[in-house]
């Protein structure tokens, strides 16, 4: 006898953008409609990113649902979808919240629609709260580490091809960020030697994730120290901060001909022209979906089906890593109050008082 699925509500609560792009709590929001190849997830936990408030400020889209990172329970699967997921599975991923092209879907809502092939089933050893922190960091790392326009690394966690000894170093500037700690782990699992910069009080954190060396980013001679440590072998740098100081340090630390630099924020051409021997790239997590990113001012992206193919491949790799307990989530701070907690957490992020932790709100 087939199981009877619970009836869905006619509307939901969500954090949406107001007329000026500011986040607000809204009742009566329409649920996202299932599309071929997608599933509908009832949200359990929502993790916050700086982009969650920056997007609305830069590209106001009144009514758009905010939020990228989340975990929850599968409650609907589109008919004909090829997946081994079943209703009731606990899953996590990220979506493109505050999306002008798709304003009715975002993570800070009671229900979220997601492509079935870009979800991770959450093992009980991880749990939805920790899992909610992974999606954006993993999506960003796909584009930054393995995208052919970014670092274009050849080794992956499932196919280690760079077998030099000692391993080839890769600099992660801002290693104590949520993306930084995941990047360090993925680099280590791929056979590279991750080195990083951060505040000294986060040295233990980045080393626990696999960094072989950590440098104080405020040190006047940090670039020289990195050059000495790597002995002229540094070719790749991932910049999780992307301010003038971080760009300068990364560019001066890269020594090899054909160096590559990937930033997670747009960097001015004036800064990037300082070393033409280094190939720069700016990457964003939403690129993994392969559809057009309908933004502006350098944040727009044309459709690219190859990005989605790359992401689907890596989500299979990441599933094995989480199943085997090889990926450790970023340290987190739980926010009370459900969606109201999200609003309070966004204010905390804007204040600049959060360091080395990911804020997670639990749905009430």
Chain segment 186-232, per-residue pLDDT in tens: 999 999 999 999 999 999 999 999 999 999 999 999 999 999 999 99
- The answer on pLDDT for 352 being more than 60 is yes
- The answer on pLDDT for 162 being more than 90 is no
Q: Report angle CA 6, 12, 13 to the nearest 5 degrees.
A: 140
**The CATH number of domain 139-288 is 3.10.129.10:** no
User: Of 27-41, 317-331, 343-357, which gets the smallest average pLDDT?
Assistant: 343-357
C-alpha 345/C-alpha 55 separation (Å) is 16
Task: Tell me what pLDDT residue 3 has.
Answer: 61
Task: Tell me what pLDDT residue 356 has.
Answer: 83
- The answer on pLDDT for 164 being more than 90 is no
Q: 214 - beta bridge partners?
A: 196
Task: Tell me what pLDDT residue 355 has.
Answer: 81
* Exposure string over 216-255, b if 16+ CB within 10 A, otherwise e: ebeeeebbebbbebbeeebbbbbbbbbeeebbebbbebbe
Chain Cα centroid distance, residue 218: 25
Chain segment 118-155, per-residue pLDDT in tens: 999 999 999 999 999 999 999 999 999 999 999 999 99
Whether the Cβ atoms of residue 298 and residue 282 lie closer than 8 Å to each other: yes
- The answer on pLDDT for 16 being more than 70 is yes
Residue 316: both structure tokens together: 């299979």
- The answer on pLDDT for 256 being more than 80 is no
Please, what is the angle between helix 244-253 and helix 222-230, to 10°? 30
- Give the dihedral of Cα atoms 247, 253, 215, 158; nearest 10 deg: 90
Task: Tell me what pLDDT residue 1 has.
Answer: 36
Q: Report angle CA 159, 165, 168 to the nearest 5 degrees.
A: 65
Average pLDDT over residues 293-319: 97
Whether the Cβ atoms of residue 359 and residue 332 lie closer than 8 Å to each other: yes
CB atoms within 10 A of CB 325: 10
User: Of 73-82, 237-246, 304-313, 351-360, which gets the smallest average pLDDT?
Assistant: 351-360
- The answer on pLDDT for 163 being more than 50 is yes
C-alpha 65/C-alpha 18 separation (Å) is 10
| Domain definitions of the chain by residue range | 12-134+329-362, 139-288
β-strands 120-121, 90-94: how paired? antiparallel
Task: Tell me what pLDDT residue 257 has.
Answer: 80
* Length of the chain, in residues: 364
Residue 354 binned pLDDT confidence (cut-offs 50, 70, 90): confident
**The CATH number of domain 12-134+329-362 is 1.10.260.40:** no
Its pTM stands at 0.96
Report whether the peptide linkage leading into residue 166 is cis, meaning its omega lies within 30 degrees of zero. yes
Average pLDDT over residues 99-114: 98
Chain Cα centroid distance, residue 293: 16
- Count Cβ atoms within 10 A of the Cβ of residue 273 and give its class: 0-12 exposed, 13-18 middle, 19 or more buried: exposed
**Rg of the chain over CA atoms, in angstroms?**
20
Which residues, other chains included, contact 229 with Cβ-Cβ below 8 Å and sequence gap of 6+? 169, 195, 213, 215
CB atoms within 10 A of CB 349: 17
- To the nearest whole number, what is the mean pLDDT of the chain? 96
Chain segment 333-348, per-residue pLDDT in tens: 999 899 999 999 999 9
Helix (H, G, I), strand (E, B) or coil at 239: strand
């Amino acid at each position: 006898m087939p199981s009877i699925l619970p009836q869905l509500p006619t509307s939901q609560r969500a954090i949406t953008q107001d007329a000026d792009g500011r986040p607000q709590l809204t009742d009566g929001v329409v649920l996202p409609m299932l599309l071929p190849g997608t599933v509908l997830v009832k949200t359990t936990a929502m993790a916050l990113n700086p982009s969650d408030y920056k997007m609305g400020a830069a590209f106001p889209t009144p009514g758009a649902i905010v939020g990228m990172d989340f975990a929850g329970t599968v409650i609907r699967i589109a008919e004909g979808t090829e997946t081994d997921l079943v209703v009731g599975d606990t899953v996590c991923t990220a979506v493109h919240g505050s999306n002008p092209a798709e304003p009715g879907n975002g993570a800070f809502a009671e229900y979220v629609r997601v492509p079935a092939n870009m979800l991770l089933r959450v093992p009980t050893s991880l749990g939805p709260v920790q899992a909610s922190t992974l999606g954006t960091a993993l999506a960003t790392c796909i584009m930054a580490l393995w995208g052919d326009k970014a670092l274009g690394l050849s080794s992956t966690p499932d196919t280690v091809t760079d077998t030099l000894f000692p391993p080839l170093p890769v600099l992660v500037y801002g290693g104590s960020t949520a993306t930084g700690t995941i990047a360090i782990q993925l680099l280590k699992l791929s056979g590279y030697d991750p080195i990083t910069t951060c505040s000294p009080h986060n040295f233990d954190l980045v080393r626990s994730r696999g960094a072989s060396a950590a440098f104080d980013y405020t040190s006047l001679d940090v670039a020289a120290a990195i050059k000495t440590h790597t002995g002229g072998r540094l070719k790749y740098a991932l910049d999780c901060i992307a301010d003038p100081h971080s760009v300068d340090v990364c560019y001066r630390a890269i020594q090899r001909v054909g160096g590559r630099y990937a930033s997670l924020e747009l960097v001015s051409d004036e800064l990037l022209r300082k070393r033409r021997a280094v190939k720069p790239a700016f990457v964003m997590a939403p690129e993994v979906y392969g559809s057009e990113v309908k933004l502006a001012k350098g944040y727009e992206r044309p459709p690219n089906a190859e990005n989605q193919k790359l992401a689907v491949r890596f989500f299979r790799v990441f599933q094995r890593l989480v199943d085997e307990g090889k990926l450790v989530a970023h340290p987190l701070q739980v926010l009370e109050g459900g969606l109201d907690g999200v609003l309070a957490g966004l204010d905390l992020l804007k204040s600049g008082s959060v360091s080395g932790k990911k804020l997670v709100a639990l749905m009430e």
